[in-house]
Structure 1
Amino acid sequence: MRQNPARRTALLDAAIEVLAREGSRGLTLRAVDKEAGVPTGTASNYFAHRADMLGQVMARTRERLTPDPAELAGTMTAEPSHDLVRTLMRQVVDRMRRDRSSHLALLELRLEATRRPELHTELARFFGEELDANIGFHVGSGLPGDRTGLILLYLAMQGLIVDELTVPELLTPHRTGELIDAMVARLLPADGD
């Protein structure tokens, strides 16, 4: 396997674009070569097989969707509060809008995992780690809410993101920001509520 990190990243980014545009059935090593603008056979030098590439695509989407450390640090200077949680959730939606391809690729991977047990195991681990990390960050930052409320917020945000990606006009009359405000208020009640 080749070890040129920049080329591998370019191939993974191309795979994400192919997944987002063509779905998992359109994701072939040849399609990735074409999307990346490299000679046919290049991707096969970096990925042992399609399943290997899919696993690496998951890791690359994590890199692409991770908040910019400086931006996050700036956001986290605010007092831990419901307002800060609302800001963080709005930033999640903003990142989704800036990188729709990564989110669409993850949706395609979820669908593919229903047909491929080995991918299902890897995807369940991947999303489990993501959820645990997000809960750990939230609790560790002193933000309001307990584990159950945070899982409910995760589920609500996932639904919002899927609708924003697939049928954005569905939520337009309801204003995404207002929906986020309501989710945070209802799912992470203030102490004593």
Structure 2
Amino acid sequence: MSKTSKSGKVIVIVAPSGAGKTTLAKRLLEEYPSIRFSISATTRPPRKDEVDGEDYYFLTDQEFDRKIENHDFLEWERYSSYRYGTLRSEVDKLVESGYFPLLDIEVNGALNVQKIYGSAAVSIFIEPPSMEVLQERLQKRGSETTDSVEKRMERAEMEMQYAHHFDHTVVNDDLDTAYVQIQAIVEPFINK
């Protein structure tokens, strides 16, 4: 894809775990070839079927520390006992290729990216219809323990307090409706 005057813009999607962020992001990526997912780096071990450089860049603690020291991250955060970060080089590579990077990141990281990119970033906070619905979604995953659901719910309550700091808020009560709302935000942004 050739560079355009529109390049340099980033799309940031933020949400508590279980709000539907990943599902909605995947739909955007499927429908808009000019949007590409920015692969994050992490210190957590790969899960079954995850591929280094496709799902994440899997780094040792020492490699992650070196990248922090070299200011290689746009943002990074500790989640549970692992660290996750957005590599500047990954975003730059996408922008230089004429794509719109899609960042699926945590609240603090998203706030930092907004500061760096200003009006060249659009941020969308995906909100669950209620905390009860969010808890049900997390429990239905089947991959969460009672303890991890509790921790995710505590974190979600904190994250929800920051929703008003983002450019747009979309309540994901119905996946299709939420997606149409996201399209209405993203299309004008990438086409102006």
- Whether TM exceeds 0.5 here: the answer is no
Q: Which has the higher helix share?
A: 1
Q: Normalised by the size of structure 2, how large is the TM-score?
A: 0.29
Greater relative contact order, per chain length (Cα 8 Å cut-off, separation 6+): 2
Q: Which has the higher strand share?
A: 2
Q: Normalised by the size of structure 1, how large is the TM-score?
A: 0.29
